[in-house]
Chain A
Amino acid sequence: MVYKAVVIGTSTGGMAALGEVLHALPRNFPLPILIVQHISSRSDGFIVRYLNELSAIRVKEADEKEQIEAGCAYISPPNYHMMLDQDSCIALSVDSKVSYARPSIDVLFETAADVLREGLIGVILTGANSDGSKGIAAIKKRGGIAIVQDPATAEAEAMPGYAIKAAQVDYVLSLKNIGAKLIEIVGV
């Protein structure tokens, strides 16, 4: 298969939206999924436990230098940027905030696009700022696939709106159709 990984970025309203997307994926989903959810720097990992409970795939907080594997979703730890390194390992960073955010969606999407090129699928869900739009543009520039939640169905429409403006995205879908589209693309 040409696809190597999925990256997902979201902010306001993201926990429920991620829940719906991940819940739709089967245990044998054949790609790793890397997720940036904007979150308080003092957050205690509740979101990881919550999403792991309701998903068939495994959901965990990303570890530094961890090799990404199919059927597992990796969530960026609070207060760290998450990058994908050349050897497909996760690299964390405490570098300055990007677009007022750490973790930043752009940082994950841009580094992953650089490594996986046309093998990357990027997804932008609900959110109230413009983080992720540069990342979506980077994915499209390298021939990957971009999926954006339909702003009309998003709890906060700004983030999907900016992403749609930033690049010629492939799909604009309601939340409940995003999981199904991912399955269709990777052909589980």
Chain B
Amino acid sequence: MKQDFNEISLQNEDIEIMLLLEAIFIKYGYDFRGYSQAHIKRRILRRKELLGLSSVLEMISRVLDDRSFFDTLMMDFSINVTEMFRDPGFYKQFRSEVVPILRTYPYLRIWHAGCSSGEEVYSMAILLKEENLYEKAQIYATDFNEDVLENAKEGILSIDALKEYTYNYQLSGGLSSFSDYYIAKYDSAIIEPSLKKKIIFADHNLVTDGVFGEMHVVLCRNVMIYFGKALQSKVTGLFYDSLCNGGFLCLGTKESLKFTEYEKYFECFSEEYKIYRKKFKA
């Protein structure tokens, strides 16, 4: 009997979560309905627990009445765990295999989609600078979360993480010393300002916004893992449409195009580091 009761209350919770996401979409225009359910449910239930609410239903009326509560949920739904030169092997591969091809272009357009607080954008800026490609590059760094984008623009690095970043930088095949690229101040470090020169930070939502110019490289690492399969396919299509022929799509090292309909439109350039190349039209 108790079992049955649990069964019913748990199913209701799933329904309430769907309604909450619907309410957020209708009221604020941010669409989380296509996100991975495991991910979004974990986030919602954790917030519910932190607030001591008895049901997700209570969160619905709260989010409708209170914009700041929506901001809190939006922060919950976006993952902002990132590092400088995260997956150093990826940067090493990019430097040795992709950069020689990028050199053949007269100018470069690079899009970091879902750039979070900017660490990976600045990592790419450093790499391009060391390879003498920075001056002919234009980097677009976008995220749907404006607060996070503000942090990215400031380029503040956590002092605690500098040791790890320095190690990553060395493993990534860096040609200089990582300390050349930041200015340390008391308890934080700030990115060397010249690295910001060619980066445009902009608000862009992968779920609801469209194509973003014609790019030579699109980087979207560990963003689509939070999407459900249908949304993942849709966004991969957006990247396909935003790349020039022969342009590169870089995903997180555990992501792949394997389970999307777009696999056949890309050549796998690096299996290990998930670098794909848009096929030239026959």
Of residues 108 through 129 on chain A, the ones whose CB sits less than 8 Å from some CB of chain B are 110-111, 114-115, 117
Q: How many A-B pairs fall under 8 Å by CB?
A: 62
Does B245 sit within 8 A of A, measured CB to CB? Answer: no
**Pairwise interchain contact A77-B36, C-beta atoms closer than 8 A:** no
Q: Beyond A85-B37, A94-B225, is A65–B259 a contact (Cβ under 8 Å)?
A: yes
* Residue among B10, B37, B256 making CB contact with A86, cutoff 8 Å: B37
Q: Which of B20-28, B38-46, B137-145, B209-217 contacts A (4 or more CB under 8 A)?
A: B38-46
**Pairwise interchain contact B256-A111, C-beta atoms closer than 8 A:** no
* Residue among A63, A65, A96 making CB contact with B81, cutoff 8 Å: A96
- In the complex, the chain A residue whose C-beta lies closest to that of B86 is A94
**Pairwise interchain contact A83-B79, C-beta atoms closer than 8 A:** no
Name the B residues within 8 Å of A93 (CB-CB). 39, 79, 225-226
Does B281 sit within 8 A of A, measured CB to CB? Answer: no
**Pairwise interchain contact B254-A91, C-beta atoms closer than 8 A:** no
Name the B residues within 8 Å of A141 (CB-CB). 6
* Residue among B39, B81, B222, B252 making CB contact with A91, cutoff 8 Å: B39
Name the A residues within 8 Å of B31 (CB-CB). none
| B interface SS class | helix
Name the B residues within 8 Å of A83 (CB-CB). 36, 38-39, 42
Name the B residues within 8 Å of A91 (CB-CB). 36, 38-39, 225
Does B123 sit within 8 A of A, measured CB to CB? Answer: no
Distance A99 CA – B255 CA, assembled complex (angstroms): 25
Q: How far is the CB of B14 from the nearest CB of chain A, in Å?
A: 8
Q: How far is the CB of B105 from the nearest CB of chain A, in Å?
A: 31
**Pairwise interchain contact B81-A94, C-beta atoms closer than 8 A:** yes
Name the A residues within 8 Å of B36 (CB-CB). 83, 85, 91
* Residue among A64, A89, A107 making CB contact with B254, cutoff 8 Å: A64
Q: Beyond A93-B226, A143-B3, is A114–B81 a contact (Cβ under 8 Å)?
A: no
Name the B residues within 8 Å of A92 (CB-CB). 225, 254
Distance A64 CA – B7 CA, assembled complex (angstroms): 29
Of residues 41 through 93 on chain A, the ones whose CB sits less than 8 Å from some CB of chain B are 63-66, 77, 80, 83-87, 89, 91-93
Does A184 sit within 8 A of B, measured CB to CB? Answer: no
Does B129 sit within 8 A of A, measured CB to CB? Answer: no
Distance A63 CA – B37 CA, assembled complex (angstroms): 17
**Pairwise interchain contact B225-A63, C-beta atoms closer than 8 A:** no
Over the window 37-63 of chain B, the binary record of Cβ atoms lying under 8 Å from chain A Cβ atoms (1 yes, 0 no) is 111011000000000000000000000
Distance A117 CA – B3 CA, assembled complex (angstroms): 11
Over the window 22-48 of chain A, the binary record of Cβ atoms lying under 8 Å from chain B Cβ atoms (1 yes, 0 no) is 000000000000000000000000000
Of residues 73 through 104 on chain B, the ones whose CB sits less than 8 Å from some CB of chain A are 79, 81
Name the A residues within 8 Å of B6 (CB-CB). 141-143
Does B185 sit within 8 A of A, measured CB to CB? Answer: no
Q: How far is the CB of A133 from the nearest CB of chain B, in Å?
A: 17
**Pairwise interchain contact B37-A95, C-beta atoms closer than 8 A:** no
Of residues 146 through 181 on chain A, the ones whose CB sits less than 8 Å from some CB of chain B are none
Distance A83 CA – B222 CA, assembled complex (angstroms): 15
Distance A63 CA – B251 CA, assembled complex (angstroms): 13
Q: How far is the CB of A117 from the nearest CB of chain B, in Å?
A: 8
Find the residue from A65, A84, A114, A142 having the highest chain B CB count within 10 A.
A65
- In the complex, the chain A residue whose C-beta lies closest to that of B232 is A65
**Pairwise interchain contact B81-A95, C-beta atoms closer than 8 A:** yes
Distance A143 CA – B258 CA, assembled complex (angstroms): 35
Does B198 sit within 8 A of A, measured CB to CB? Answer: no
A and B contact pairs by CB, cutoff 8 A, 5 listed: A63-B258, A91-B39, A95-B39, A95-B79, A117-B10
Nearest first, the 3 A-B pairs at minimum CB distance are A83-B38, A86-B37, A85-B38
